[in-house]
Amino acid sequence: MHLLSERARELIADEERYGAHNYAPLDLVVERAQGVWLWDVAGRRYLDCVSAYSAVNQGHCHPRIYDALVEQAAKVTLTSRAMRNDRMPGFLAALTRLTGYDKALPMNTGVEAVETAIKLARRWAYATKRVPADRAEIIVFFNNFHGRTIAAVSASTTPEYREGFGPFVPGFVAVPFGDADALERAITPNTCAVLIEPIQGEGGVNVPPDGYLKRAWALCREHDVLFIADEIQTGLGRTGDMFACDYDALRPDVLVVGKALGGGFYPVSAVLANDELMRHFEPGNHGSTFGGNPLASAVAQAALDVVASENLPARSRYAGARLMQGMRAIASPFIKEIRGRGLLIGIALTVPAKRLSEALLERGVAAKDCREYVLRIAPPLIIDDEATAYFLESFTDAVSALADGP
């Protein structure tokens, strides 16, 4: 069992006493972090295989992003969108150049960007596709995760995200992930969009069958439906390409980004689309006080520069291949499947994933379950060969320890 220092026990007790119990975190109380490593309040070191759910693709406390944050914080941090600021134009230009879209709409958290994409799709449906008022439908997928606002959980099929939070927002139709025929059957004249994660992260690191995304995209073209890619967790290098849709050479009508866009320093998200779609937003019908603020813009521009200049997608592809090759070489009755792409890896187990998570924590690796029987491995994309070897040695030992029972 993972041993806690007295200081850690005190901090955990205070959190449990004064905080709402809406998370079940690892009992790891982090005091500082650098690169791919975490240190707890007792000074013990851990390899981070969570990466704040892909928000720290660039590694913890990246010096270039840190410098951008500090420099901007000394000038101006917030103006609201009531006026313009000198940092947002550069950020928007960098983001649209990287992605190839005409326009970007900046928000803060990932779920805010998802909500923005939903509003954009509905607005387009009524103004352009001429769907009858209040009848627009968006197709989503079993085991999706788009956040936890009321609209996002209305689109969810996961019971624990929904129970006790109704009534739900209408207009979402769920179909099995990876079943193109089911998707085609679900499309009606009122369908305005398909909202999809190219690889489902929180749902269990579910990689779609080969050709599925291409067919889904083609169905959208055939039926005049928007293809919206939620790349909040899969984007900015995580899966071995800049965006997971790049693997299939797809260009979504609407691209949703977040998490690593803030470089682990600040919540930044955005929705990207071309002019013909984005023109449906006008002054007054959507906004955010903090979206595109000077501090966020400075941080995000630096975060994008690090992803591109340090070639993080290629580094993710290389390190991910090494990790999956190493894990697949382990013969164990506890491992059903190693799946994923780049550094978004899911380990399907025959025992609860929490057991393997705890065994890894004892050995200096922080990893979290994303389903009861699936452990997610997602270190920062800057992980090097030495840290990769450290993980594989720890993982091999932890899997062997599962035979000893709970």
Q: What is the pLDDT of residues 142-179, one digit of tens each?
A: 999 999 999 999 999 999 999 999 999 999 999 999 99
CA–CA distance from 249 to each of 94, 246, 260 (Å)?
Answer: 21, 5, 22
pLDDT in tens, 73-129: 999 999 999 999 999 999 999 999 999 999 999 999 999 999 999 999 999 999 999
Domains of the chain, by residue range, sit at: 63-309
Q: What are phi and psi of 269, to 5 degrees?
A: -140, 170
Contacts of 28 (CB under 8 A, 6+ apart): 2, 38, 40, 46, 361, 366
Active-site residue, from 91, 259, 290, 369? 259
The pLDDT assigned to 277 comes to 98
Tell whether pTM > 0.95.
yes
Q: Look at residue 298 and tell me whether its pLDDT is greater than 80.
A: yes
354 is catalytic: no
> Is 70 exceeded by the pLDDT of residue 68?
yes
Check if 275 is active-site: no
Query: In this predicted structure, what is the pLDDT of residue 230?
Result: 98
Q: Is 230 a catalytic residue?
A: yes
Nearest to 49 by CA among 269, 346, 311, 248: 346
Separation of alpha carbons 161 and 271, rounded Å: 24
Beta partners for 200?
A: 206
| pLDDT confidence of residue 406 | 67
Assess whether pLDDT exceeds 80 at residue 2. no
pLDDT over threshold 70, residue 320: yes
Q: Say which of 48, 230, 241, 369 is annotated catalytic.
A: 230
Of 26, 31, 34, nearest to 44 by C-alpha is 31
The residue type at 20: A
Model confidence over 367-387: pLDDT tens digits? 999 999 999 999 999 999 999
pLDDT at 102: 98
pLDDT of amino acid 1:
61
Q: Hey, CA dihedral for 78, 82, 85, 87, is it positive or negative?
A: positive
Residue 187 in contact with residue 139, Cβ under 8 Å?
yes
46 to 19, 201, 318, 398: CA distances (angstroms): 25, 22, 22, 14
Q: What is the mean pLDDT of residues 31-40?
A: 98
pLDDT (mean) for 340-356: 98
Domain at 63-309: CATH architecture: 3-Layer(aba) Sandwich (3.40)
Give the pLDDT of residue 56: 98
263 pLDDT more than 70: yes
Is residue 187 within 8 A of residue 129, CB to CB? The reply is no
Q: Which structure tokens are listed for 238?
A: 């995580």
Task: Kindly state the tokens that stand for 350.
Answer: 């025959």
Q: What is the pLDDT of residue 5?
A: 94
Predicted local distance difference test score (pLDDT) of residue 218: 98
Please check the confidence at residue 261 and state whether its pLDDT lies above 80: yes
How would you list the strands of the sheet with 368-371, edge to edge? 335-341, 344-349, 374-377, 368-371
Residues in the chain, overall count: 406
Mean pLDDT rounded to a whole number for the chain? 97
Work out the percent of the chain whose per-residue pLDDT is above 90: 98
Phi, psi dihedral angles at 263 (to 5 degrees): 60, 15
Q: Which of 145, 177, 227, 281 is the catalytic position?
A: 145
